[in-house]
Structure 1
C-alpha cells in the first residue's frame, strides 16, 4: 500500500512488531503480535498500545484504548505492512484479524475495500463469519457485507 508508514521493528521470528505513533499527543508505543491459533495454520493479529500494568508489573497490549493521535491512516498502513512482512516469511500461514469493537471491524472492512485491487495482487481475502454452530468459517470477501473478522492468505506467486 502506497501510504506513509512508521518504521517497524520486529523480533527474529517476525511475530512481534513495534513502532511509535508520533503525532499531536506525542509518541505512543504500538505493538503488533502474530500468535498461532488452534490449527497453527491461522495466526491471530493483535494490535494496540503497549501499556505498563502496575498490578501485574509487566507490559500488556491494550487494544481497546482510543489514542486519537491523528495518524490513523499511517498506523493502519504500518499494520498492513507487518502482514506483508509476516506472510513473506510464512507464506503458508493465514492471518486473522478483527476489531476490538464493531466500529473498528467496519473500519478494517472499509480499508480493505479501498485497497482491494492492490491487496488482491498479493493476498486471497476472506471474510470470517460464525456459522450456525458458532464456529468461525471463511467466505469470499464482499465489500458490502458485515463480517466477524477477516482472513488474509498470501497467494502463491
Structure 2
C-alpha cells in the first residue's frame, strides 16, 4: 500500500462514523489501525457496499497483495455486494408477484402478455434473475390495465 502523506493520519476517527473519513484516513487506518478500527470499516462496507467508503477502500487496496487485512476487506466487500444483489433480486421478485396478483391473471397468461416464457417468469419469481427495467414497466402497465378492467366489472356495493 502507498504510504499516507504526512498529516494524513486518521486522527479524525474519534466519534466520526467511518463514512465521513477521508481516503487518507482510511489508508492510514488500514496500514496502522487495529482490529477494532478494521471492524468499523468492515461494518461500513456491509452497510453500503457501493457507497463512498467502499470506493475509498477499493482505491486504497487497488494493487495491494491479497493477504492480511487487504484480503479480508476484499472478501467482506465481495460478500456484501453478493448479499445486497440477492436481497435486491428478492425485492424485485416480491414486486413482480404483487403485479401478477393485482392483474388477476394466472402466471402463464401474464408471462404470455409480457412476452416471456413461463420459465423466464418463474426465474424472476424465484429471484434467480431480475427482469430488465423496460420489462418491469411492461409488467406494471399490464397489471394496471387488468386491475382497472377488474374494478370496472366488479359489482358495486350498495
Give your verdict on TM over 0.5. Answer: no
Scaled by the length of structure 1, the TM-score of the pair is 0.28
Q: Which has the higher strand share?
A: 1
> Is the radius of gyration larger for structure 1 or structure 2?
2
